[in-house]
Amino acid sequence: MKQGVVFLFLSVFYFTGSAQLSKEKIQKVDALLRSYGAIKQFNGNVLVVQKGKPVFSKSYGYADFEWSLPNDKDTKFRIGSITKQFTAMLIMQLKQQGKLHLDSTVTTYLPWYRKETGDSITIRHLLMHTSGLKNYTERPDFRYTLAFSNLDPRAFAEKYCQLDLEFKPGTKFKYCNTDYYLLGLIVEAISGKTYAQALQEMILDKVGMKHTGMDSIASLLPKRAKGYEYGFYGYENATPINMASSTYAAGAMYSTAGDLMRWQKALEGALLLNEVNKKIYFTPGLGNYALGLYVTKTKDGKTVIGHPGGINGFASFMIRFVEDSIVVILLDNTAAVRRVSLDNISLGIYSIMMGISPETPKTPVAVALTETYLQKGVEAMTARYQAIKLDMNYDVSKANTHLNNFGYDLLTKRRVKESLMVLKLAVQEFPESANTLDSYAEALLADGQYKPAMEYYERVLKLEPGNKNAIDQLEKIKILMN
């Protein structure tokens, strides 16, 4: 469900040449995916479709690392916010049937919803992320509380989605999962069915998507991939959340690459919507956002349509290069979207198909340092950083964040000496980062080094006068030293 800035990279490229996929290009696509896999940036399924036919289909890595079960073409992945395309389609089908109007308000269909906001937000606002509502998934307690909720969707929305407005509806674009959660409830209110039933009957059965549905933490689903995170200590099991309640119509679906190819064909055809409503579905508004899809143009005027998805342990990306009739579908069960956007892989594949050499992927600093730490320990890791920080083959743009977070994680695990080594490196490299200085000061304090801790808290205050934590900690140290 998590999403970032997508398609912006396309605005700086011109694509010319043939899009035929020869044996040589197939080998190059495979080599590209293997290179991303080698640096822990891809583990999953790839499907490339040209003119409605698959031209490249391959699985990489494992669906279950613990049992060494490989991904294959039938592996089911959670697709996160790609769900929004389906929710938008259900709304448009109800509109096509004359059962709703896009410019009617939320309270027209959800009379229980808070009137002072619901009376000013239309269905169109929800579809295009211009409602002005706050995003419930940005709540501090979402990750640790709401994500595990077992409430039914209406009860969840009554408790967590009746939020204040951040701006006047229709005036700005802000990606908001609250919008699509409410759309799911509107589908239920109008259809008289659960969201899952409406999805099955109105879309999945019609399209022939037999390996797609709404995920449930309780269900036994054959060939469902397990989700993993790549963190400070390598791959770990992702926390299993209750998607049916916490993400619902905004991001709770699972699917396969083959089923998403069928979905893409249905979107391009006339099976689900007539031409008038298809035009509405694909017409972008603010933020280049249409209905559950981003729609943008490259510098040479080509149209690109797609959407990313991210949910605990999973990342997905489906993108269509319209004029070249190329679709790239990527499904990953190691949360790659949190490390490098899958749009870069898609761009690399498209470049190869157009006869252009793709950019060589750079190894993220987090991966390079983690692998060194696991094999040789913290001293070797800090030495490795010095060796790679100016190496163009590595992406060190997030080095400060990684070093600080890793050092602090070691501190919370009471591995104080290791924490000090990592955080000392961090403050040497990033002396103007107040957060990093604060972390190092805390580690020094935990090690009983009171005077050095005071010095670093004082440096924090020079960068951020009034920093409450630094002030409080300095008072604490003064008491400890007396």
Give domain limits for the chain.
8-353, 363-481
Residue 188 in this model has a pLDDT that exceeds 80: yes
Instruction: Tell me which fold the domain 363-481 belongs to.
Output: 1.25.40
Tell me the whole-structure pTM to 2 decimals: 0.91
- Strands 253-255 and 77-78 turn out to be antiparallel
Q: At what angle do helices 83-96 and 275-282 cross, to 10 degrees?
A: 140
Look at residue 343 and tell me whether its pLDDT is greater than 90. no
Per-residue pLDDT band for 337 (boundaries 50, 70, 90) equals: low
User: To the nearest whole number, what is the mean pLDDT of the chain?
Assistant: 93
Note whether 45 and 379 are within 8 A (CB). Answer: no
pLDDT over 70 (residue 189):
yes
- What's the pLDDT at 338? 60
Name every residue whose Cβ is closer than 8 Å to that of residue 67 and which is 6 or more positions away in sequence: none
| C-alpha to C-alpha distances, 333 to 78, 210, 229, 374, 476, nearest whole angstrom | 8, 20, 8, 22, 45
Query: What does the pLDDT read at residue 340?
Result: 63
pLDDT > 50? residue 273: yes
Q: Which pLDDT score is estimated for 434?
A: 96
- Name the residue among 41, 62, 65, 60 with its Cα closest to residue 365: 41
Q: How far apart are CA 76 and CA 178, in angstroms?
A: 26
Mean pLDDT of the 117-137 span: 97
The CATH number of 8-353 is which of 3.40.309.10, 3.40.710.10, 3.30.450.20, 3.40.50.1980?
3.40.710.10
Contact 384, 368 (CB under 8 A): yes
CA distances to 20, 200, 308, 335, 382 from 316, in Å: 25, 21, 6, 9, 33
pLDDT band per the 50, 70, 90 thresholds, residue 22? confident
Question: How far apart are alpha carbons 426 and 406 in whole angstroms?
Answer: 10
Q: Residue 8 pLDDT more than 80?
A: no
- For residue 9, pLDDT over 80 is answered with no
Q: How many CA atoms lie within 13 A of 468 on its CB side?
A: 0
Return the higher-pLDDT residue of 149 and 59.
59
Mean pLDDT is lowest, of 10-14, 118-122, 218-222, 460-464, for 10-14
**pLDDT(12) > 60:** no
pLDDT at 7 over 60: no
pLDDT at 4 over 90: no
Phi-psi region of 173 (alpha: psi -120 to 50; beta: other; left: phi over 0): beta
Q: What percent of the chain has pLDDT over 90?
A: 87
pLDDT at 77: 97
**Contact (CB, 8 A) for 193 and 94:** no
Backbone angles phi, psi at 417, to 5 degrees: -60, -45
47-54 average pLDDT score:
95
Find the range with the poorest average confidence among 17-31, 248-262, 369-383: 17-31
